[in-house]
Amino acid sequence: MQSSGHSIRDRARPPTADELAGIPWLPALTPAERRRAEADLVVGEAEPGDLVCRIGRSPTFWFGVVEGLLKMSTDRADGGTVTYTGVPPGGWFGEGTVMKREPYRYNIQALRRSVVAGLPIESFHWLLDHSIGFNRFVMNQLNERLGQFIAALEIDRLNNPDARVARSLAALFNPVLYPGVGDVLRITQQELAYLVGLSRQRVNEALTHLAAQGLIRVEYGGLRVLDLDGLRATVAGAGKRDV
C-alpha cells in the first residue's frame, strides 16, 4: 500500500483461517502446493485512498481482495482519470503484469478500508511452473478479464448512462472473477459513481430504472442482482441500438 509510504510487506500479517477460506484458487492446488502457498501468503490493510499498485512500479506480489473494494484506473494526459473496473471481495488481479514482470500500467486504489492478500511474485511463478490447477485458474482469469475489458471499451463509446451503470454492475457480479460477491454487493452509490465515472445523482437515476425492470434491488448498504443475464442483455441491447 504505497500512498502512505508503506508497502503491504510493512503491514503484513499471516492470513486467518477464514481469510484463507475466501481465496478462490487455493482449492485448485494439490495439498503440497497449497501448504506452500498458504505459508507464503500475507494480508494487509489498505485505508481509503491507498494505492495497492501504482503506475510504473514493478510488481512484487499478486494481489487479491479479501474484504472491501478497490478500483483499477489510469490517469489521462488532461489530468482526468479513466476507471476500468472495480475489484470486490474474491477478486484477484494483475496476473498478466506479474507473469511478464513488467511495471504496472494502471493504479489500484482502495475506495474504502480493505483487506488485501498478496502472494509473492516468486511464489506465483513457482505455482505456474508446477501446478496444473493453478494454471487453469490463471487462464480462466485472463480469458474472463479479456471479455470484460472488450465489453468496457464497447459500452464506453455509448452516450448511455443506464448502460454504463448496468455494465459496471454486471462486471462486479461476475462469478468467475469475483466469486466472493454472491448475489449482494456492499457498495454505496458514491462508490459506484467513482467506478462508472458519473455523478451520484445520475447513478441513482440509473439504479432506479434498472430496479423498475426487475434486474436489481437496492438494499441497505448495497445492491442485490435479481437477473444477471437480464443486466447483461441491457448492456448488449444498448450497443445494438447505437449501431
Model pLDDT for residues 97-117, shown as the tens digit of each residue: 999 999 999 999 999 999 999
Mean pLDDT of the region 173-179: 90
Judged against a pLDDT cut of 50, whether residue 4 lies above it is answered with no
d(CA 105, CA 56): 6
pTM of this prediction? 0.85
Judged against a pLDDT cut of 80, whether residue 165 lies above it is answered with yes
Give residue 11's pLDDT band: very low, low, confident or very high (50, 70, 90).
confident
Judged against a pLDDT cut of 60, whether residue 35 lies above it is answered with yes
Which pLDDT belongs to residue 116? 96
Which pLDDT belongs to residue 238? 58
Question: How far apart, in Å, are the Cα atoms of 243 and each of 154, 165, 237?
Answer: 11, 19, 10
Model pLDDT for residues 209-218, shown as the tens digit of each residue: 999 999 999 9
d(CA 113, CA 70): 9
Mean pLDDT of the region 129-144: 95
* Complete edge-to-edge strand list for the sheet that includes strand 70-75: 51-53, 107-110, 70-75, 81-87
Model pLDDT for residues 144-160, shown as the tens digit of each residue: 888 877 776 666 666 78
d(CA 222, CA 235): 21
Helix, strand and coil content of the chain, in percent to the nearest 5, comes to 45, 20, 35
Question: How far apart, in Å, are the Cα atoms of 79 and each of 74, 76, 82, 159, 193?
Answer: 10, 5, 10, 22, 18
d(CA 90, CA 137): 13
d(CA 59, CA 120): 9
64: phi then psi, degrees, rounded to nearest 5 = -145, 155
Mean pLDDT of the region 161-183: 88
d(CA 108, CA 85): 10
Higher pLDDT, 134 or 221: 134
Give residue 237's pLDDT band: very low, low, confident or very high (50, 70, 90).
low
Instruction: Pull the grid cell for residue 83.
Output: 476507471
Would you list the DSSP string of 6-26? --TTTT-BPPPHHHHHT-TTG
Parallel/antiparallel/unpaired status of strands 51-53 and 107-110: antiparallel
Would you list the DSSP string of 152-204? HHHHHTS--HHHHHHHHHHHHT-TTT-TTTTTEE---HHHHHHHHTS-HHHHH
Model pLDDT for residues 56-93, shown as the tens digit of each residue: 999 999 999 999 999 998 877 777 777 888 999 999 99
Average predicted confidence (pLDDT) for the chain: 88
Domains and CATH numbers, the chain: 17-146 (2.60.120.10), 160-242 (1.10.10.10)
Question: How far apart, in Å, are the Cα atoms of 168 and each of 14, 139, 152, 161?
Answer: 32, 23, 8, 11
Give residue 187's pLDDT band: very low, low, confident or very high (50, 70, 90).
very high
* Residue 207 near residue 189, CB atoms below 8 Å: yes
* Residue 10 near residue 93, CB atoms below 8 Å: no
